[in-house]
Amino acid sequence: MSSVAVQMNQFLMSVEKRAFRMAEMALGNPDDAMDIVQDSMMMLARKYAKRPADQWPPLFFRIVQNKIRDCYRRRASHNRVFAFFNQFRGQDDEALDVAELHASRSSDEPEQRASLDGATLQLQQALEVLPQRQQQAFLLRSWEGLNVAETALAMDCSQGSVKTHYSRAVHRLREMLGEHWP
């Protein structure tokens, strides 16, 4: 295996779980999120492997964000076409409850895990309430550690827009999380 392939594999392994959580949070569906992450990984490897490795993070997350937007468009189109049937949709179609995921985990330190799970759950619920662009800016800047320019590239917008979306997200999260915000 070539050194570029090894680097690409290492990069993809390092971002896979975070990209999945980002897509799942945006879409509310783990299956759609996994499809998006896998498609994004394939596209990055196929089209951008020859680019310098420091360009991969913003390119990868731009691909992920574009695929999330495409999924929103498909859902909106589908909902328009099948609006009549959506009123009969049962609760079984809803996404897996995050609280169920947290409850199913085990830990050697239950009190620490319970505190961490509670804080994580509160943050996740607050992030899900944010508008999509604010959510994207916050996750790319805070979780992925991308700088403003890289985030702008990933979100396909100006650096000023990234700053605005990120600032609004931080202020809104502070309002929602109150004393739990660091």
pLDDT level of residue 74 (50, 70, 90 thresholds): confident
What do you get for the CA distance between the two ends of the chain, in Å?
44
Minimum mean pLDDT among 15-19, 91-95, 102-106, 162-166: which range?
91-95
pLDDT at 120 > cutoff 60: yes
pLDDT level of residue 73 (50, 70, 90 thresholds): confident
Higher pLDDT, 76 or 164: 164
* Interval 41-51 mean pLDDT: 95
pLDDT at 119 > cutoff 70: no
* Interval 12-38 mean pLDDT: 93
pLDDT at 111 > cutoff 70: no
**Angle ∠(23,24,27) on CA atoms, nearest 5:** 80
Give residue 158's pLDDT: 95
To which residue do tokens 């994580």 refer?
A: 120
Report, in angstroms and rounded to the nearest whole number, the Rg of the chain calculated over CA atoms: 18
pLDDT at 2 > cutoff 50: yes
Minimum mean pLDDT among 16-20, 70-74, 87-91, 110-114: which range?
87-91
* Interval 67-86 mean pLDDT: 65
SS (H, E, C) the chain: CCHHHHHHHHHHHHHHHHHHHHHHHHHCCHHHHHHHHHHHHHHHHHHHCCCCHHHHHHHHHHHHHHHHHHHHHHHHHHHHHCHHHHCCCCHHHCCCCHHHHHHHCCCCCHHHHHHHHHHHHHHHHHHHHCCHHHHHHHHHHHHCCCCHHHHHHHHCCCHHHHHHHHHHHHHHHHHHHHHHCC
pLDDT at 20 > cutoff 60: yes
Is the whole model's pTM more than 0.75, yes or no? no
